Chain A
Amino acid sequence: MTTLVLDNGAYTAKIGYSHEKVSVIPNCQFRSKTSRLKTFTASQLDEIKDPSGLFYILPFQKGYLVNWDVQRKVWDHLFGKEMFKVDFADTSIVITEPYFNFTSIQESMNEILFEEYQFQAALRINAGSLSAHRYFQENSSELCCIVVDSGFSFTHIVPYCRGKKMKDGICRLNVGGKLLTNHLKEIISYRQLHVMDETYVINQVKEDVCYVSQDFYKDMDIAQLKGEENTVMRDYVLPDFSAIKKGFCKPREEMNFTGKYKTGEQILRLNNERFAVPEMLFHPSDIGIQEMGIPEALVNSVHNLPEEMQPHFFKNIVLTGGNTLFPGFRDRVYKDVRSLTPTDFDVSVVQPQNPICYSWEGGKLLSENPDFDEMVVTREDYEENGHFICEEKFDI
């Protein structure tokens, strides 16, 4: 019996057998301007030579699975002979779902896993629970941890105590990578070049040049300086998908402060956008989303938990999800949480090596756990008891 671990994110699926390595694959379909008859699924993205104006078809809306047609096409591709060649008669699956997943989505999920694909056993679980599992395995002396999972659709802050999630402390910010990319697209389109159709390219720009400021107003002052003194400004060379396959930042030495280049590449000039965009995670109110930022929400969430646990949470803050890869993210969370908590508490913020696949690795560990067989629902169980048994066993 093999186990397939699938961290089914709204933008990328992290998938792999528990005895193998993880692959990160887009969890969506694409259409391109150049190949007009084909819809590309998941990893077929690599076949598109010119991804300018790439059109996304996503199975998720606001972080919840709503478009099952698309999801099933992606899964057919992932499980099929092109990729994982799943032998359903001899495979169990660990699959992740968002917090407070809607009942009807959970039921559809059961039906599709057991009836459509006919997996032998399934474990549906929150991605954060897998992260927490891994954290407790690696730090066995710790009693509590608080997982910050900042992904594509939203950011969740979830406290765990001895492996159990504490539902009352769960807090969601409606700020995720998608909002950041769209916001960056919007301000670049307004200020210099129309890029509203270029989600793919601008997402790359975001990943390449954005960073989290450690002193926001100081960086704002630097960004207002002219010429050489402005150490924030960067010129980004956009890809043309013939000579330049991937965009990149002009090295500082080659930068021309008049903004005119003889070479003729298309340039985006990024200044305060570099740090003002990720700042949305720390101050959503800057663009009118009236919610707390990550550090404030984290401290607020911990304050609502039993007092004797609080110091343990501040000591074990775990950052997961793609947004935590912005340079300076960890230091900023530490700095802000530190300034919001009394000095007699220790604050420690852990950023794993690979925050995107951290929960997948947790799923891998969990599947090797001796209690794993107790946690899953088998196909016989499901056929006997239906949705009821899944509702009983899975804590979503």
Chain B
Amino acid sequence: MVEKKIAVRSQEANQRRVLDRATRQRRLTRQLEALEKDNFQDDPHASLPQLAKRLPQFDESNESSKKRKKTRGDHFKQRFRKNFQALLEEENLSVSEGPNYLSACAEPSKLPQRHFCAVCGFPSNYTCVSCGARYCCVRCLGTHHETRCLKWTV
């Protein structure tokens, strides 16, 4: 009886897809990147046609100064439009001497890693076989399988 049960379990484990280390790391990186986002929703103006441009200009006398401002804006857009990653690469820090942005980052902690249930947030003792997420009890494991485990597919 007992033997049979073990057999069923290991069979199940074989069938279940198990993510390798690299994939798990990729998922974690993606989750951490998501925490840097400014907004999760779409820009409420994104779906609108660009009305502002088509509106008639009542203030004719202001026209010339407006035009000047606009060209200046375009100049700035070209000159200054860079994202963080591009700026970081441009600095070429890996070859420069002395402390810099990259070297100032805190080192990994010397304290042992702590583990928390991915579902309820309480301390956890178990690891999901498939994806490596932590869980604390059968109930949370069930929730985890139904909602997250492999569903945010790799």
Contact = CB atoms under 8 A, between A and B. Distances in A.
Size band of the interface chain A makes with B = 35 or more
Interface string B56-88: 000000000000000001001101111110011
A146 B89 CA distance: 30
Contact of A69 (B73, B82, B99): B73
Given A31-B44, A182-B37, A103 B105 contact: no
B100 interface: yes
Given A36-B48, A102-B91, A104-B90, A290 B32 contact: no
A285 interface: yes
Interface of B: 28, 31-32, 34-41, 43-45, 48, 51-52, 73, 76-77, 79-84, 87-88, 90-91, 98-101, 104-111, 113-114, 116, 119-123, 147-148
Nearest to B114: A286
A257 interface: no
Contacts of B52: 37
A271 to B, nearest CB: 8
28 contacts: A36-B44, A37-B52, A53-B41, A55-B43, A61-B84, A68-B80, A69-B76, A100-B104, A102-B91, A102-B101, A103-B91, A108-B79, A171-B106, A172-B104, A174-B106, A182-B35, A182-B36, A185-B40, A197-B40, A223-B122, A272-B120, A286-B116, A288-B31, A291-B109, A292-B107, A293-B109, A297-B107, A300-B106
Contacts of B87: 64, 66, 102, 104-105
Contacts of A62: 36, 84
Contacts of A286: 114, 116
Interface string A348-389: 000000000000000000000000000000000000000000
A53 B91 contact: no
A224 B34 CA distance: 29
Nearest to B105: A172
B84 A66 contact: yes
A102 B82 CA distance: 12
A191 B120 contact: yes
Interface in A270-314: 272-273, 276, 283-293, 296-297, 300
Contact of B83 (A39, A66, A104, A196): A66
A296 B110 CA distance: 9
Contact of A174 (B44, B51, B80, B105): B105
Contacts of B119: 190-191
A186 B35 contact: yes
B152 to A, nearest CB: 11
A185 to B, nearest CB: 8
A199 interface: yes
A56 interface: yes
B114 A285 contact: yes
